[in-house]
Amino acid sequence: MTLVESLLAGFSVAATPSNLLFCLLGVTLGTLIGVLPGLGPTATISLLLPFTFGLDPVTSLIMLAGIYYGAQYGGSTTAILINLPGEASSVVTCLDGYQMARQGRAGTALTIAALGSLFAGIVGSFVIALWGPVLADFARGFSSPEYFALMVLGLVAAIVLAQGSLLNAIAAIMMGMFIGLIGIDRTSGVARYTFGQPELFDGIGFVPVAMGVFGLVEIAVNLEQTQGKRQVLSQVGRLWLTRDDVAKAYRAVLRGTGIGCLLGILPGGGAVLGSFASYALERRVSRDPARFGHGAIEGVAGPESANNAAAQTSFIPLLTLGIPSNGIMALLMGAMMVQGIAPGPEVMTSRPELFWGLIASMLIGNLLLVVINLPMIGIWVKLLHVPYRILFPTILIVCCVGVYTLNNSIFEVVVMAGFGVFGYAMRKSGCEGAPFLLGLILGPLMEEHLRRAMLISFGDPSVFVTRPVSAVLLLIAVLLFAFAVIPSVSLMRAKTFEED
Amino acid sequence: MLRNVLLAVAAACIGVSAASAQGAGANFPSKPIRVIVPFPPGQSADIIVRLLADKIKKQSGATVVVENKPGGNAIIGASEAARARPDGYTLLMAGTTAMSAAASMNANLPYDPVKSFTPVTGVALNSYVLVVKPDYPANSVQDIVELARKSPGKLSFGSGNQSSRMAAELFKTMTGVELLHIPYQGTEQAMSDLVNGQITMMFNGVMTSNPYLKRKDLKALGVSSQAREPELPDVPVIGDTVAGYSFIAWQGLVAPAGVPRETVATLNRLFTDALKDGEIYARLNGLGMTVWPVSQEELGKVIAEDKVKWRMLVTKAGIPVVQ
């Protein structure tokens, strides 16, 4: 089948009334939680996960994906209007977006954010359509040594790209891997840290942990911060772009889209990384870097395009290799597996309607998002006034019901509560939840593939370097890790040079 | 999922109002029958029970409610069923995993497959097919055995679940060959490695193998059942080469021990009537299974036989027992 035929087949799946409805539902919900600070897509998707199991797999994926990229749109709204990033990926949008709003150009900033996201979203979807099958063909040759190398690369990337201290990121990943050890070892059948409890035989469930570490911690942190009066700008200003705006922004949109697409594919990458990298790039290539931080439209256009492009392309590793590149993709992988679909190269041939239907829905969803976002900015702003004392008990109840219905198990509700406390302690000590979660997911997979690769090779470790793909992946991982260490080296060097 | 919760709540309410009026015997069932499925929704055991519940509702008006209690290799759900009141209103969707595998691989199982339960009826059977790569230099079960004898421990088999592994372990013990076991989580990755030549062979479910066999990505050497499979009429029975070999995974319904005889008989009739329906037959075939509407005695015999057979296999194969 050609690309056009496949896409048309995808549209026939995505355009059914129920799939359109759930796409709309997903992107609306995504925008909503994007606008609301404190409730991110990870928490939302994990909350909704148990409720999607009754849906058709394609429908549930369409909706959950919509939440993720929808949040990239919504996140910019709060960042621009009240200097509060609705999403982590919108942090850099605050820098210039809020300044533009203060200058009465909020409408322009919101429009360029939405249009940039639309362009990036469409390009990102086509990148999946074009590269996805190629990568899947390539991935078909993957066996345990390659998967092991890929997991190593993913973990190294998670360490390198984590914000803050390198040591904290490593610690978080290690803790995640340790929690991942719990359960009956699939290779040997030996029970590890189960204390004879059948509840622990399958290991600690990923969804309760994610809901504890993200959902509950988010609530706790929000309650902790004083609910001071937030200044909301009443003046949104004109929505349309001037010729000068377009001239300045379009290159930034193009560059942002490119860098976002690229970083989205990388294991450990995603929307946050894309937006930061794009902002840095815009500053570097600008003829007048001094304008940045004072309302430069490129500073909004680039990162907002990048985060949406990355949100789309981060589906590639999941859909083609069956490897989640970030916490959200891991949640979606869980959603697929519960539905009896093992994500991997097989999906595209065995369930083409799922792959192409999802891509088609992304194109539809991106259009819907622009329609939702531009005329409804006024309404989104009003939602910021919902008092948190009403919002947070609702979220808490939904969390508990959601986890319980997952396996009809009280034990998992307790697990969620426990990891809520654990996650809070982690947050307080400067450890991020995302690397912890990646350790929890990738650790057991890495072990499984390492041991299987060793079994198949009759104990010869050279398979990892004699098989070309595995060797290249491991080499990249080593180089990436070296990069993470080098900045301190270069900093020392810089200081030495200064003294000369 | 939300629907299940609501259903369960509704069922509980009806149960309370009806409980006072009922005794064992003629008017059974006077309230919804709860079937504990020790797997998450969407797995074959879950789908089968939901299909049966729907059919029973249409045939006799009796309500069957599914309750998923997954986890712990089906031990969590089975333990709960073993502890339930033996009034016939709680059943367990049992099978090779919850019974044969759990009993042979756990030192401290909270229940005994034979003593803790009353067998009710068989539900479905699933047989396996021995598959290799199309260009592998073996065209029969005999060829594989000879190749394995020539290079002991160099031929490997993959498994995505315990039943698939046990089919191979039984083959090993009965032929006396040495094969290397490569475990997988789920059959997808194992099949992919088999096609890529990473592993030599696999005992895989007939239905999941079928697409690979049709695409000629794999070739079939023999089936594990006692007679040829209708879906694979050209594939010989492994038992023809290895005398006495037969391996079939089963699913069946059991109740807690001590359910009155006439209640068990009523339950058996309810479920076997549904299983004999043409639509159920076709649906189960679609899931790669054969319907197995047998008496409580026959199911009991299989459970008891399996307990002995699996324990022997686990010991011979040196599989570690969970303490």
CB contact under 8 A, B79 and A198: yes
Angle at A430 between CA A424 and CA A431, to 5 degrees: 75
> Between chains, do A409 and B73 touch, taking CB under 8 Å as contact?
no
Instruction: Test B75 with A201 for CB contact under 8 angstroms.
Output: yes
Q: Is residue B25 part of a domain?
A: no
How many beta carbons lie within 10 A of that of residue B190, not counting itself? 24
Whether the Cβ atoms of residue A303 and residue A283 lie closer than 8 Å to each other: no
Query: Which of residues B218, B240, B262 is at a domain's end?
Result: B240
The answer to the question of residue B9 being in a domain is: no
User: Are B236 and B183 part of one and the same domain?
Assistant: yes
CB contacts of B322 in chain A (<8 Å) are 184, 189-191, 194, 201
- Cβ-Cβ contacts under 8 Å, B70 against chain A: 407
Nearest chain A residue to B198 by CA distance is A456
B230 shares a domain with B139: yes
Q: B217 — contact with chain A (CB < 8 Å)?
A: no
Is residue B296 situated within a structural domain? yes
Residues of A in contact with B110 (CB under 8 A): 198
B208 and B144 within one domain: yes
CA-to-CA distance for A232 and A83, rounded, in angstroms? 9
Query: Of A283 and B295, which is predicted with more confidence?
Result: B295
Please report, in tens digits, the pLDDT of each residue of chain A (500 residues total): 577 888 888 888 888 999 999 999 999 998 888 777 656 677 677 667 667 767 888 898 899 999 988 888 888 887 787 766 666 677 778 778 888 877 778 888 888 898 899 999 999 988 888 887 777 666 667 788 888 888 888 788 777 756 567 788 888 889 999 999 998 887 777 788 888 888 888 888 777 887 788 778 877 877 777 554 444 455 566 667 788 888 888 899 999 999 888 777 765 556 776 777 788 778 777 777 778 878 889 889 999 999 899 888 888 878 887 766 666 776 787 677 666 676 777 777 778 888 889 889 989 999 998 888 777 766 665 655 667 677 678 778 877 876 786 677 889 899 999 999 999 999 888 887 777 877 887 788 888 889 999 999 888 888 898 888 889 989 988 987 887 676 655 555 455 544 44
The pLDDT of residue A88 is 65
The pLDDT-based confidence of B1 (bands split at 50, 70, 90) is very low
Write the residue in B72, B189, B319 that is nearest to A199 by C-beta.
B72
pLDDT of residue B21: 38
Burial of residue A382, with CB atoms counted within 10 A of its CB: 0-12 exposed, 13-18 middle, 19 or more buried = exposed
Q: Check A345 against B192: CB less than 8 A apart.
A: yes
Query: B323–A196: do the CB atoms touch at under 8 Å?
Result: yes
CB B5: neighbour CB atoms within 10 A? 13
Cβ–Cβ of B193/A143 closer than 8 Å?
A: yes
Q: Does B322 touch chain A (CB under 8 A)?
A: yes
Identity of the residue numbered A26: G
- A345 shares contact with chain B (CB less than 8 Å): yes
Judge whether B15 lies within some domain. no
**Residue ending a domain, choose from B211, B240, B269:** B240
Q: What per-residue confidence (pLDDT) applies to B26?
A: 65
**CB-CB under 8 Å, B75 with A405:** no
**Domain residues for B222?**
127-240
B73 with A198: Cβ contact below 8 A: yes
Higher pLDDT, B1 or B35: B35
One domain for residues B41 and B113 = yes
CA distance B121 to chain A (A): 26
Quote the DSSP letter at residue A107. Answer: H
All residues of chain B having their beta carbon less than 8 Å from the beta carbon of residue A150 are none
Q: Is residue B11 part of a domain?
A: no
Residues in A closer than 8 angstroms to B73, CB to CB, are 184, 198, 201-202
State whether B262 and B167 are in the same domain: no
Searching chain A, which residue's CA lies closest to the CA of residue B105?
A189
Contact A191 B322 (CB under 8 A): yes
- Go through B147-161 and write b for each residue having 16 or more CB atoms within 10 A of its CB, e for each that does not: bbeeeeeebbbbbbb
Question: Residue B122's Cα: distance from chain center in Å?
Answer: 10
Q: What is the DSSP letter of B320?
A: P
Within a domain: residue B221?
yes
Give the tokens for residue B211.
């697409």
Looking at the structure, tell me whether residues B161 and B232 fall in a common domain: yes
What number is the average pLDDT over the span B87-93? 94
Two structure tokens written together for A415: 């697990």
- Which domain-ending residue is among B240, B263, B294? B240
Q: Which residue has the higher pLDDT, B306 or A380?
A: B306
Those residues with Cβ within 8 angstroms of residue A487's Cβ, 6 or more apart along the chain or in another chain = none
Among A197, A200, A321, A452, most B C-beta atoms within 10 A, so best to mutate, is A452
Q: Is the same domain home to B151 and B256?
A: no
Bridge partners of residue B91, in order along the sequence: B35
Residues of B in contact with A199 (CB under 8 A): 71-72, 76
CB atoms within 10 A of CB B297: 9
Distance between B104 CA and the closest CA of chain A, angstroms = 12
Tell whether A191 lies on the interface with B, counting CB pairs under 8 A.
yes
B36 and B120 housed in the same domain: yes
Beta-carbon contacts below 8 Å between A and B: 99
Residues of chain A contacting B2 with CB distance shorter than 8 Å: 51, 54, 405
**B103-140 per-position pLDDT tens digit:** 888 888 889 999 999 999 999 998 899 999 999 999 99
Residue B109 lies in a domain: yes
For residue B72, the distance in angstroms to the closest alpha carbon of chain A comes to 5
Tell me, yes or no, whether B207 and B258 share the same domain: no
Q: Give the Cα separation of A314 and B137 in Å (integer).
A: 42
Taking CB atoms and an 8 Å limit, are B72 and A201 in contact across chains? yes
**Whether B300 and B166 share a structural domain:** no
Q: Is the pLDDT of residue B258 over 90?
A: yes
Q: How far apart are CA B76 and CA B96, in angstroms?
A: 15
Regarding beta strands B290-291 and B117-132, do their DSSP bridges make them parallel or antiparallel, or are they unpaired? antiparallel
Considering CB atoms only, which of A53, A187, A200 is closest to B41?
A53
The CATH number of whichever domain residue B308 belongs to comes to: 3.40.190.150
A389-438 per-position pLDDT tens digit:
776 787 788 778 767 866 778 898 999 999 999 999 998 888 877 778 77
3-state SS class at B220: strand
Inter-residue contact A247 to A454 (CB < 8 Å): no
In a domain, B231, yes or no: yes
**B108–chain A Cβ distance below 8 A for any pair:** yes
CA distance B27 to chain A (A): 30
Domain count of the fold of chain B: 2
A54 touches chain B (CB under 8 A): yes
Burial class (CB in 10 A: 0-12, 13-18, 19+), B288: middle
pLDDT at B239: 92
User: Same structural domain for residues B138 and B176?
Assistant: yes
- For residue B202, is pLDDT > 90? yes
The answer for residues whose C-beta is within 8 angstroms of residue B128's C-beta and 6 or more apart is: B163, B164, B167, B203, B204, B205, B206, B223, B224, B247, B248, B249
Cα separation, A253 vs A275, whole angstroms: 11
**pTM of full prediction above 0.80:** no
Give the minimum alpha-carbon distance from B261 to chain A in angstroms, rounded to a whole number: 31
Q: Does A410 touch chain B (CB under 8 A)?
A: no
CATH classification of the domain holding B144? 3.40.190.10
Tokens of A194: 């189960």
Which position has the higher pLDDT, B96 or A216?
A: B96
- Look at residues A146, A125, A10 and name the one whose alpha carbon lies nearest to residue A66: A125
Q: How far apart are CA A32 and CA B123, in angstroms?
A: 47
Q: How far is B25 from chain A (nearest CA, A)?
A: 31
B320 — contact with chain A (CB < 8 Å)? yes
Q: CB B193 to CB A144 under 8 A? A: yes
- Is B234 in the same domain as B258? no
Tell which B residues from 223 to 282 touch A, by Cβ distance under 8 Å. none
CB-CB under 8 Å, B320 with A345: no
